[in-house]
Amino acid sequence: MAGTQVNSGDAIAIKLYSAAVFAGMQRKNTFTNRMTGPAPSQSNAEAKIRQQTSPDYPVVRVTDLSDAAGDRVSVDLFHTVGGKPIMGDRQAEGRGERLSTSTQEIKIDLTTKVVDAGGKMTQKRTKHNLRSIARAQLVNYYAKLNDQQTLIAMAGSRGVDVGPDWLVPLSTDPDFADIMVNPVQAPTYNRHFVASGTGLVQGGAQLASIASTDSLALEHIDALSVLMAEAQFKLQPIKIEDDPAAEDEPMYVMFVSHRAWHAVNTKSTGQNWRTFLQNAWNRASYGSKHPLFKGECGMWGNILVKKMERNVRFNAGSVLKHVTAANRMTATETDVTVNAGLTAGWNVDRCLLLGGQALAHVYGKNGDSGTFSNWKERPYNFDRALEVMGDMMTGKAKMRFEYLDANGSREPTDHGVAVLDVAVPPVAA
């Protein structure tokens, strides 16, 4: 006997496939999902109310708009209380330090993709369920789009790479801003570094002088580790739930391009390279089964280094946004041009150093489907063919707050991500 058939347009089909597309996208082992923590437990009351994933991961997923009207969600940060203590019997009443906060609003919007699932004769000629194939295509499409939006938002730039694998167009495209939903913000001055020899220079202005001698090396990872340890505004370390060393040995994760990884390999001595790889294996051997520890990776200091399949790349002469030292307290962006004299064939790749709460990914209620995604089917050509539409109500933004410095001034600071720009060599054909 044939199984129960769910016809196109049925309410049950809409709910079934709406939920399936969203669940499929969340389960895929993607760049974004590897950096997103688990949903809160019942005991974590505040996060449960907000429907927020773990704040100890780079990407925090928030779904508290699922049952509420509005196209924005506010994220608040309470500044750390400082100042001198009150000693002995000195008067304490009325001397309380006022709590101060920074607030960031994140917008959501509707993202839609349509797939033609074919006509009756197409269905006759294949043993495959074209509706299921359309669903799989939508899952893959949204997972890829999600990753690219995440990368661009955290990197603070789209870069110049083009190709059929890129779904987000260049920043010069008239639809770029709408596709990203929230403004793409250049790295704050105190979170932007450029390789210079074996050292680092703070701020993106150094890109105007970057040379082929400024490729990624273990010395740069060392320097980042020290800088993060001594920074006035530290990145929040990542804590993976099944990592036994999470409390005793907090870590960050650094994503680099394949070319940058190759540069580290080429410049490292045999022993250092083996130690680099062994350190990552040692950390994974503590017992964590998290995907961040899978595949080829290295570890230097407290920074886990991973390759990423897609990266933000610039050419010699590329113009991009940065924040100068003079504008660090306002985060006003100006243009900087990548050294036009960079050796032929070389590019500049942006590495991402990630801590906790680097990016907020917000979902909102999407129509009557009861999920954050929606599925619609439309027969056409006298009901002989089927077109499928999937849409998602979502938005994401890099977490940025204003921190009070030692002088009481507020400095805009990317909360959980720092970037390192390095020169990368060409790949031999």
Supply φ then ψ for residue 238, to 5 degrees: -85, 135
Supply φ then ψ for residue 38, to 5 degrees: -70, 160
Largest distance between two CA atoms of the chain = 89
Task: Tally DSSP H helices, then E strands, for the chain.
Answer: 9, 19
Instruction: Report yes or no on 233 lying in a domain.
Output: yes
pLDDT at res. 125: 43
318 touches 156 (CB < 8 A): no
Instruction: Report yes or no on 202 lying in a domain.
Output: yes
User: Is residue 68 over pLDDT 80?
Assistant: no
Average pLDDT on 248-269 reads: 90
* Domain span at 204: 189-358+405-424
Reported in sequence order, the residue ranges of 172-237 that DSSP labels E, i.e. its strands, are 192-196, 199-202
Instruction: Report yes or no on 15 lying in a domain.
Output: no
Return the bridge partners of 252, or none.
Answer: 303
396 touches 359 (CB < 8 A): yes
Supply φ then ψ for residue 114, to 5 degrees: -115, 135
Instruction: Report yes or no on 47 lying in a domain.
Output: no
Query: Kind and range of the H or E element at 31?
Result: helix 31-34
> How is residue 23 written in tokens?
């669940």
Ranges 150-164, 257-271, 324-338, 397-411: which has the least confidence: 397-411
What is the β-pairing status of strands 417-424 and 347-354? antiparallel
| Count of domains forming the chain | 1
Supply φ then ψ for residue 188, to 5 degrees: -65, 155
Instruction: Report yes or no on 158 lying in a domain.
Output: no
pLDDT at res. 183: 94
Residue bearing the bigger pLDDT, 33 or 327:
327
Return the bridge partners of 422, or none.
Answer: 349
Residue 313 CA to residue 207 CA, distance in Å, equals: 13
316 touches 339 (CB < 8 A): yes
Mean pLDDT of the chain: 79
What is the β-pairing status of strands 400-404 and 410-414? antiparallel
Place of tokens 């008067």: 91
pLDDT at res. 96: 64
Q: How confident is the model over 293-305, as pLDDT tens digits?
A: 778 899 998 899 9
User: Is residue 405 over pLDDT 80?
Assistant: no
Percent of the chain with pLDDT over 90: 37
Residue 196 CA to residue 422 CA, distance in Å, equals: 8
Ranges 20-24, 61-65, 90-94, 281-285: which has the least confidence: 20-24
Place of tokens 């089927």: 386
Cα–Cα–Cα angle for 119, 124, 126, rounded to 5 degrees: 100
pLDDT at res. 169: 95
Instruction: Report yes or no on 44 lying in a domain.
Output: no
Ranges 35-44, 65-74, 251-260: which has the least confidence: 35-44
Instruction: Report yes or no on 201 lying in a domain.
Output: yes
Please report, for residues 70, 123, 146, the alpha-carbon distance to residue 107 in angstroms, rounded to integers and kept in the order given. 9, 40, 15
Instruction: Report yes or no on 154 lying in a domain.
Output: no
Q: How confident is the model over 162-218, as pLDDT tens digits?
A: 988 899 999 999 999 999 999 999 999 999 999 999 999 999 999 999 999 999 999
Residue 204 CA to residue 197 CA, distance in Å, equals: 15
Average pLDDT on 404-414 reads: 81
